[in-house]
Structure 1
Amino acid sequence: MKVTMEQLQAFLDEQFPQGAAFGTLYELGDGSAEMMLDVDETHLRPGGTVSGPVMMGLADVTLYAALLSKIGLVPLAVTTNLNINFLRKPVANQPIWARATMLKVGKTMAVGEVFIYSRGVEEPVAHSTMTYSMPPQR
């Protein structure tokens, strides 16, 4: 693992403070990360379910953390593709959490997946795959 949880959290606080709006990082491994979001009324869409953009943001930031655990603190690693399948309705006003795993990390591209879960629902509520572009090392 290239960074510790404390180093990554300090980096995110400084370089990407808006990321905190998408959840709290609570676990970091070598190519993996987990984040949780306490869902409130601002995260809900009409019909009383967690909005898609909220789940997409949580997935993206969680995979970003997993990627940085492998490559170090690289601010210009950016999402180039995000695909998400919404599998079932999350429980309104209950926490959701994401588990991200890097599937492949190359020199300039990386691919990972994220499962999103909701308290009160046994199976995942969403599944996402993403591709990140990383600046070439000099």
Structure 2
Amino acid sequence: MPIMMDADALAVFMKDVFKQVADDFAIDHVGETDLTTRLLTADRHLRPGGTVSGPSIFALADVSAYLMTLARIGPKALAVTTNCSIDFMRKPAANTDLIAKTRLLKLGKLLSICDVLVYSEGLDDPVARASLTYAIPPR
């Protein structure tokens, strides 16, 4: 199955369907089985101690798996997260974007399974790793 939505189409979709958070994210790359997105980190994403909060990191991983799934199935707003496991491994930098490198592991008729590595821009080692499963709405 080819790419159904490119970066521009995904960005427009996010602004239409999730306007409350769409401006927090940017889409850097869309491939058949990989996607790179970023959290445009701002003060609202920080927790006490001056680091990016866990919920903000989770949001990036979740949005990234969602966008990877939509890139392949098209604009289906009702695709939903059914499972997520996330490991927070390192403290991310506070004044830099977070970058998510998403890999589509499986795309079936009912489920999409993705692996996401989250990095602080400029650092080699990931700050978090997530595995997400999305339920795909019936056609």
Q: Same fold by TM-score, threshold 0.5 exceeded?
A: yes
Is 29-38 or 54-63 further displaced after alignment?
A: 29-38
**What runs of 5+ residues in structure 1 fail to find an aligned partner?**
none
Is 40-49 or 97-106 further displaced after alignment?
A: 40-49
Aligned with 1:94 (options 84, 93, 96): 96
Give the 3-state SS of the residue equivalent to 2:44 in structure 1. Answer: helix
Is 123-132 or 41-50 further displaced after alignment?
A: 41-50
Residue 117 of structure 1 corresponds to 119
State whether structure 2 residue 47 is matched by structure 1 residue 45.
yes
Q: Hey, what's the Cα distance between the residues in 1 that align with 2:86 and 2:24?
A: 16
Aligned-pair CA distance for 1:75:
1.2
**What runs of 5+ residues in structure 2 fail to find an aligned partner?**
none
Q: Hey, what's the Cα distance between the residues in 2 that align with 1:51 and 1:93?
A: 13
Residue 24 of structure 1 corresponds to 26
* Aligned partners of 1:23 and 1:37 also within 8 Å: yes
User: What pairs up with 1:65-104 in 2 under 5 angstroms?
Assistant: 65-104=67-106
* Aligned partners of 1:22 and 1:57 also within 8 Å: no
Residue 131 of structure 2 corresponds to 129
**CA shift in 2, pair 1:68/1:91, >3 Å:** same
Structure 2 counterpart of 1:71, which letter? I
Q: Hey, what's the Cα distance between the residues in 2 that align with 1:31 and 1:18?
A: 27
**CA shift in 2, pair 1:9/1:119, >3 Å:** closer
Q: Hey, what's the Cα distance between the residues in 2 that align with 1:105 and 1:61?
A: 17
The CA RMSD over aligned residues, in Å, is: 1.4
Aligned-pair identity (%) = 40
TM-score (norm 1): 0.91
Aligned-pair CA distance for 1:40:
2.6
* Aligned partners of 2:11 and 2:22 also within 8 Å: no
* Aligned partners of 1:32 and 1:67 also within 8 Å: no
Per-residue deviation, residues 24-59 of structure 1 (Å, max 9, x unmatched): 112111132211123232211112211000000011
Give the 3-state SS of the residue equivalent to 1:47 in structure 2. Answer: coil
- The ranges of structure 1 where at least 4 consecutive aligned residues each deviate by more than 6 angstroms after the TM superposition are none
Structure 1 counterpart of 2:127, which letter? V
TM-score (norm 2): 0.90
Q: Hey, what's the Cα distance between the residues in 1 that align with 2:134 and 2:41?
A: 27
